Chain A
Amino acid sequence: MLRAELARTVGDIELEVSLRVPAGRCLALAGPSGAGKTTILGLIAGTATPLRGRIVCGEQVWLDTERRIDTPPERRRCGYVFQDYALFPHLCAWRNVAYGLGEVPRSQRRAQALELLERLGLGDRAEASPATLSGGERQRVALARALARRGDVLLLDEPLSALDARTRADATHAVAEILRETEAPVILVTHDFADAALLGDETAVIDRGRIVQQGTASSLAATPGTAFVADFAGAVVLTGVARPAADGLTTVALDGGGQVSATATGPSTGPVAVSVYPWEIVIEPLDAALSSSAQNRLPARVVSVTAVGNRVRIGLQASQPLVAEITQPAARALRLAVGSRVIASWKATATRLIEC
C-alpha cells in the first residue's frame, strides 16, 4: 500500500492531493497537461520536494515534512518510467537496464539485464545504443530498466504518448502485461482518458492540482461529478438551469434556448451541466413525425461530418454545440451533409445532471 498526501505550488497552481494505492493495483492519474501529474510522480520518487507532505510505502515512511523525514530518491525504491524515457544516451540497452541493478553482484548484472530485455522481447537489441532504437523499443528498455529496480512502487509517466498509433497497440499490451504481473502499487500518468480506462484499476481525474473525481473509469464516464470530468471522459456537456417537473422528472432550460428532461439523480434546481454520450444521441430528419420515446428533441444544424472508423461523428449546432456518433449507413440514409437541418434526440434516462 502506498499512501501519499502532498502539497506544493507548481507555477500558478496549488497542487494538493491525497492518494492511496493498494499493492498490485494501478491508479491512473488522468488530466490535461499542466494539471500537475508529473510533479506528483516526482514528489513520490523524491526528485522534487513538497511544501508539506507525507509518503508512506508499506511500513516505510519516505517523507514526513512535519517530522523532517525526507528519504533521498536512491533509497526510495521506485521503478520510474520517465515521460521521454530518459535512457542514458552513452550506455547501450543492457547497460541502461543494468544501471538499475546496483544491488546485484557485478558478475550477475549483465545476465539479469539480458533476462529482463528478453522478457520484453528485446533480447536481440541488448547491445544497441538508445539513439538507434525505435520509439517502441525505447519504451520497452525504459520499462525493463524500471523493473530492474524491483521497486516497492512503480511509476509510469505517459508510457504510451511518445509512440505512433501502430506501435501503441503493442506497447499498451506490454504495459498491461507488466501491470498484471507486478505486486507493487502502480501509478500511471496519462492525459488520455482511454489509456486510463484501459490500464488503470482506478482513475483519478486531476485538474489544476486537485483530484476532482476518483473511481473506475466506467463509473467516471457514467456518473461524472463535474462538467470537467464529463468533458474529459468524452461526453457532451450542455449548460442550463434545472427545475423540478411533473412525473418526478427534472426539466433543464438550456442556456441559449431549448429544454431537455432528465430522470434526475442530481440537483433538481439551479444551474446545472447536462451530460449525454455522443452514441446516445439519435439523429432524425426535421420532418419526422413525433413517434419515438425520446423525450429530448433539439432542432440542430450539421456543422461537421467526420468518419471515425466504422462510425461517423456528426458535429451539431443547436442552441449549444453537440456531438452525435452514428453508423455509416445511417449517415448515408439521412443524406447528412454540412448545413443539413435535423433533430437531435435522446432519452431522458440517458441524461445526467451535474451541479455547476
Chain B
Amino acid sequence: METTLSYRARRGSRAPWFAIALGSSIALVLAFLVLPVLAIFVKTSPARLLASLGESESTEALKLSLETTAIAVAIIVIIGTPAAFLLATRSFPGKAIVVTLVELPLVLPPVAAGIGLLAALGPHGLLGGALGDAHVQLVFQTAGVVVALMFVAAPFYLRQAQSAFASVDRSYMDASRTLGAGQAQTFVRVAIPMARSGLMAGLALAWGRALGEFGATLMFAGSIQGITQTVPLAIYDRFATDFPSALALSAILVIVSASLLLSVKLLSGPEALSGAPR
C-alpha cells in the first residue's frame, strides 16, 4: 500500500515539472521569434504603411520583388521537380555526393554566393566570355537578380521535394506501371499528385527565402532602383536615412511573405489532398 502511494506521489510530482519545462520552452521560443515581427508593426502606423505603398519607389521595389521571385521559383520548380524525383527514386554511384552538392548553397553565406556567381557568370568570370558572346548580361540586370535568387532558394525546394517523392510508397508507382502507364506518365499522374503537399511546402519555403534574399543579390546584381533593387535592398537603402520608411517597407515584406506561406498551406490542405474528382 505504501509503495503504491509513494510511487504515485513521485509520478505526480514529476509530470507537472516536465510539463512546465516544455511549456516554458515553447513560450520562450515563441516570444523570441515573434517579438521582432510584432515590433515592426507596433512601430509603424497604418497611415505610414499606406503612405509608403503610395510612393513609387516602394511599389517599384515590391513589383520587382514579386516578379523576380515568381520567375525564379517557376524555373526552380520546372527544373527541380524532375531532378528531385530522380534523387528520391533512383540509386546511382556518387548519389550521396550529388545530394550534398545540391544542398551546399544552404550553408553558403549569401555574400559568398554572390561573389561565387560573379566569379562564374560575371563579365570576367568562368563563363563570362561565353555569356558575352551570346549577348547575355546578368550583372546589374534584372536577370541577374533572378539568377541570384535561384541559386539561394533552389536547395530549399529540392530538399523538400526529394523527401516528398521519397515518401510516396513504391507500390503506387509499380501499380501505375502495371496499369499501362510509362515512367513519364507515372511521374505526372501519380508521383506529383501524391507528393503534392510536400512539393507545395518546398515551394513556399523557396519563395519565402527568395523574397528575403539580400546578400547574393547585392553582390551579383547590385542595388539599382527599378532594375535590381528588390524590397530587402530598398529597406537597406533607406535604413540609414529614413528609418520609418524602412520600417514600413519591412512591414509590407512581412505581410507579403506571411500571406504567401498561408495561401500555399491552404492550397495543399486536406481538401486538396482528398482528390475529389473535378
Contacts and interface: CB of A to CB of B under 8 A. Distances in A.
Interface of A: 42, 45-47, 72-74, 76, 78-80, 82-84, 86, 88-92, 95, 99-100, 102-103, 127, 129, 131, 145, 148-149
A89 B194 contact: yes
Contact of B275 (A91, A99, A100, A103): A91
Contact of B179 (A72, A92, A100): A100
Given A45-B174, A82-B174, A83-B171, A90 B181 contact: no
A103 B180 contact: yes
B109 interface: no
B62 to A, nearest CB: 36
A99 B178 contact: no
A198 to B, nearest CB: 25
B172 A74 contact: no
A92 to B, nearest CB: 5
Contacts of B189: 99
Interface string B250-278: 00000000000000000000000111110
Interface in B192-207: 193-194, 196
A232 B145 CA distance: 69
Contacts of A131: 274
A90 B270 CA distance: 11
A90 B194 contact: yes
B95 interface: no
Contacts of B174: 42, 45, 47, 73, 80, 82, 86
Contact of A127 (B179, B180, B277): B277
A271 to B, nearest CB: 43
The dominant DSSP class at the A interface is loop
Given A84-B171, A89-B194, A92-B275, A45 B181 contact: no
Contacts of A73: 174, 177-178
Top-9 shortest CB links A-B: A90-B275, A73-B177, A47-B174, A86-B175, A100-B179, A86-B171, A90-B193, A102-B180, A80-B178
Contacts of B169: 86
A24 to B, nearest CB: 21
Contacts of A74: 177-182
A32 B175 CA distance: 24
B274 A100 contact: no
A92 B194 contact: no
B152 to A, nearest CB: 32
20 contacts: A73-B178, A74-B179, A78-B178, A80-B178, A82-B175, A84-B171, A88-B172, A88-B176, A88-B190, A89-B275, A90-B193, A90-B196, A90-B275, A91-B275, A99-B176, A100-B180, A103-B180, A129-B276, A145-B179, A148-B179
B185 to A, nearest CB: 8
B272 to A, nearest CB: 9
B161 to A, nearest CB: 17
A80 B277 contact: no
A228 to B, nearest CB: 29
A46 B274 contact: no
B275 A149 contact: no
Contact of A95 (B175, B177, B182, B277): B277
B177 A47 contact: yes
B172 A86 contact: yes
A88 B179 CA distance: 12
B178 to A, nearest CB: 4
Contacts of A102: 179-181
